[in-house]
Amino acid sequence: MSDFLAKTKAPRPGKCPVCDGAKYTYLNWAKRTEEEDSGRHYAASQLEFWRKLKIGQIYRCRLCGKWWYLHEQTQLMERVPADYQELLVAWDGGRFEPDVQMIAMLKKIGGLEADPYGNQKGIIRVPCCIVWANGQQSDPAVVGIMKHPMWGLEHRPLRLLESVLEVRESNFALSKEVRKGALQAEEVRMGFCPTRVQSSKGDVFILNGSADVFAYAGIKGSEIRLATSQFKERPEIVLSGTKVCEDWPITFVFCDWFLGCEELIFV
């Protein structure tokens, strides 16, 4: 454990009205004094600055000591999961960039950034296979080239781009065409942005929102294409988030934003 973590105030026992539960995981820090929701206003009043990171700042809850991360550009305050703290500290203490060979492979695979609504702005996602220095593989993996560290936190496992031997293409990765189609899908109702896809054998699925990899019922991403017919409301299988790869854990790999990384984005 790092000295940084060792000096962290241990969370107090009992349930914290600010940090425990899922009611408030995000706060608009810029408008905290204008917040009409009394609960959010109270939550913001209990957060105190603790430490500046290489990007962003860490605040702590006065009541329990748990961490919150402030995105300095967007002024969004986000609660930090306890099991993410050590990785966040490691990220802050180093610089994590791909080498020339890795960049060439990532560019060949191609990455995508934000959707038409601006979600995941400042994060370039590239699906791949990671071969680690110890010989182990993470397949599928998604490399996230980030302007800030709070990405993919709903998923596990999470790793930093270090001790990497090689980046390879993955059979779980969706094609550029499918990924772009899913990213640009229109929202037909709240939270539902469908893209109709099909396997090489004709199995039909609906992707909800952006997707990078796919593994379902023995079918992998390399077998998936955009469907020949447009989406219609039908009882087809709807897949979103980690469900698009339910049989295999997706390893999310953090990488620092680097000069020229925008060239990995395909159009």
pLDDT in tens, 249-260: 889 999 999 999
Distances from the Cα of 108 to the Cα of 3, 98, 211, angstroms: 40, 14, 18
- Cα dihedral 182→247→155→84 (10° resolution): -160
| Domains of the chain by residue range | 3-92, 95-267
Give pLDDT, residue 237.
Answer: 76
pLDDT digits (tens, 9 = 90+) for 43-90: 899 999 999 999 999 999 999 999 999 998 889 899 998 888 999 999
Helix, strand and coil percent figures for the chain, each rounded to 5: 20, 30, 45
Give pLDDT, residue 179.
Answer: 94
Name 254's Cβ contacts closer than 8 Å, sequence gap at least 6.
87, 91, 96, 144, 146, 149, 151, 152, 158, 159, 160, 161
Percent of the chain residues topping a pLDDT of 90: 51
The identity of residue 173, as a single letter, is A
Token pair for 142: 């998604």
DSSP 8-state code for residue 69: E
DSSP 8-state code for residue 136: -
pLDDT digits (tens, 9 = 90+) for 34-45: 767 778 888 899
Name 206's Cβ contacts closer than 8 Å, sequence gap at least 6.
194, 195, 196, 197, 231, 236, 237, 238, 239
**Of 190, 224, 213, 204, residue with least CA distance to 112:** 213
DSSP 8-state code for residue 196: E
Distances from the Cα of 123 to the Cα of 6, 142, 146, 188, angstroms: 30, 11, 5, 25
Q: Pick the more confident residue, 117 or 112.
A: 112
d(Cα 37, Cα 188) in Å, to the nearest integer?
29
Q: Does residue 266 have a pLDDT over 70? A: yes
pLDDT digits (tens, 9 = 90+) for 197-227: 999 998 889 898 888 999 988 899 999 999 9
pLDDT digits (tens, 9 = 90+) for 124-168: 999 999 999 999 999 999 999 998 887 766 667 889 999 999 999
The model's pTM is: 0.85
Give pLDDT, residue 138.
Answer: 95
The three-class DSSP label of residue 237 is strand
Distances from the Cα of 251 to the Cα of 115, 145, 226, angstroms: 21, 14, 25
Number of CB atoms found within 10 A of residue 218's CB: 9
For 80, phi then psi, to 5°, come to: -100, 120
The identity of residue 172, as a single letter, is F
Tell me the range of 93-102, 235-244, 247-256 where mean pLDDT is highest: 93-102
d(Cα 194, Cα 207) in Å, to the nearest integer?
6
Token pair for 202: 């004709």
Q: Which residue has the tokens 């050590």?
A: 86
Mean pLDDT of the chain: 86
